Amino acid sequence: MNVPWLTVVLAVPLGASLLLQVVPRSATGAIKALTVGATLLTAVIVAVLVAAMSGTHLSPGPLGFHYEEQHSWIPAIGASYHLGLDGISAWILALNAAVFLLGAVLISRRGTDRLKLFCGLLLLTETMTAGVLLSLDLLLFYLFWEGMLIPLYFILANYGNENRGRATVKFMIYTVAGSLLMLVSIIALQYASGRGSFDITALLGGQMSRTPVVIPWVNISTFSPEQWAFLGFAAAFAIKIPMVPFHTWLPDLYVSAPVPVLVFFAGLVSKLGAYGFIRFGLTLFPDAVNTFKWLFAALAVLSIIYGALMALSETDLKRIVAYSSISHLGFIALGIFTLTTNGVNGAVIQIVNHGIIITALFIIVGVVEQRTGTRDIRELAGLEKRMPWLYAFFLVATLAGLGMPGMNSFVGEFSIMLGAFQLYPVYAVLAGVGVVLACWYMLRLHQGLMHDPPQPRTEGVRDISVRQGLVLLPLTALMVLLGVFPRPIGDVARPSVQQSVAVANGSLVATAVTIPAVTSQAGAP
């Protein structure tokens, strides 16, 4: 079927967002139905694409893709409309579709102020995040990367608690500063390549000059142009993950944002920096990434331990989960900078696993706050008898969050630690310390909420609703299923990971590949 399926994935939520503008504000049922329907249709299309990947062939070149679409866009500057889906982006795209569907389901018709605006912005955000995951042209990628900030700004600034304004401005300043550095690097990369293209397949192998750039008044004056360009990309991606010390925007933002926003923001948006490192950092800057891998691996280990210690020190439920997220995202970053197949494949697996776990945890925190009116763990205890269904779901999420064997996070963390040991055993040992600390803060959180003597605020609270239970059920089921059977993610990602790692390590010649303009390349479902 000659159908541009990747464009359809972008068009469905975008079209629904535009269609919402003609729906009256008072028609809350129609607004909710259109939002859920668009996100559900997108999820179904992505699921079919991922399921059909085993029957498709990779396109030629160092970076093979199962599905590709390429058209001329701005030929005067070498920009093209080039989309692609491979084993690295496939499951992350599936995670993207899933978290936005959950976010749409969790929206309350009566409880969400300005429902029409919220739903329109949610659908627009899904379009932009999917574009980030599918773009193979650097200029197109940058436009989606920056375009994502527009709906996010209005969502974060208009929905949440009284501190949302300050937290949103902080997030925007961090992100825009990193994005500006990346834009400079994109322009420099296109200019230095001499190939007149922003396409990643054309830029592979076009190494920038290795001659050091001498700046007399700057100490780090011996970096080559390639190293400077890599650092520009790395700044944008490290802020988005975020890695310590670029993390300070995250706790404030997570505390101020409502649960439906956190479902897709924590579940997917914070993973886009990790994806950017894998897709562009490892392939376009092989010399630079090998030069700086020790530094970024060290920052990843610092993030693991710092995030865990901060989670132990906090009493606010949202802050505990936020800092635990920083710690687990540190594992993902560590896996990437091992530059090994085990490490990077583990990072891809962990991106999906962490998205599932963090989404469930924030939904649970939201339920507890809604029922009790507080997030202070010192005022919450004894919920086991009053909320038995929540207790069951929270127990599974706790075990997954601490990396229990048989749960989904164990698979990714174990693979990452194997890669870290291949890089340098000390990194694996220090990451192991983070695992121990994760057991500490997750069990402390679970015991503090469920098993300690009851507090006045927990008297008379009711259990989760059927709708909330139906949202948590597939998440907890996936935590168990992917823990005992992780092959669907690992096997799909591994071939693409091996190619990217080979390019990064110089064992695969990264020659430029010209792909003809097509509507849909490789098999489509």
Task: Give the pLDDT of residue 26.
Answer: 86
Contact criterion met (CB below 8 Å) for 510 and 283: yes
Most distant pair of Cα atoms in the chain: their distance: 70
- Whether 342 shows a pLDDT value over 60: the answer reads yes
Confidence category of residue 510, pLDDT binned at 50, 70, 90: very low
Query: Which residues make Cβ contacts (< 8 Å) with residue 266, sequence separation at least 6?
Result: 254, 325, 358, 359, 362
Tokens 């949610």 belong to which residue?
122
Higher local confidence (pLDDT), 204 or 331: 331
Q: DSSP H helical segments within 135-285, as ranges?
A: 138-147, 149-158, 164-193, 200-203, 225-240, 249-256, 259-267, 272-276, 282-284
Which tens digit of pLDDT belongs to each residue from 351-395? 999 999 999 999 999 999 888 888 888 888 888 888 889 999 999
3-state SS of 42-111 is: HHHHHHHHHHHHHHCCCCCCCCCCCEEEEEEEECCCCEEEEEEECHHHHHHHHHHHHHHHHHHHHCCCCC
The pTM of this model reads 0.91
Report the distance separating Cα 4 and Cα 339, nearest Å: 33
Task: Give the pLDDT of residue 463.
Answer: 87
33, two tokens: 């139905």
Average predicted confidence (pLDDT) for the chain: 87
Confidence category of residue 219, pLDDT binned at 50, 70, 90: low
Confidence category of residue 490, pLDDT binned at 50, 70, 90: confident
Name the helix (H) or strand (E) containing 339.
none
Contact criterion met (CB below 8 Å) for 357 and 408: yes
Mean pLDDT of 269-298: 93
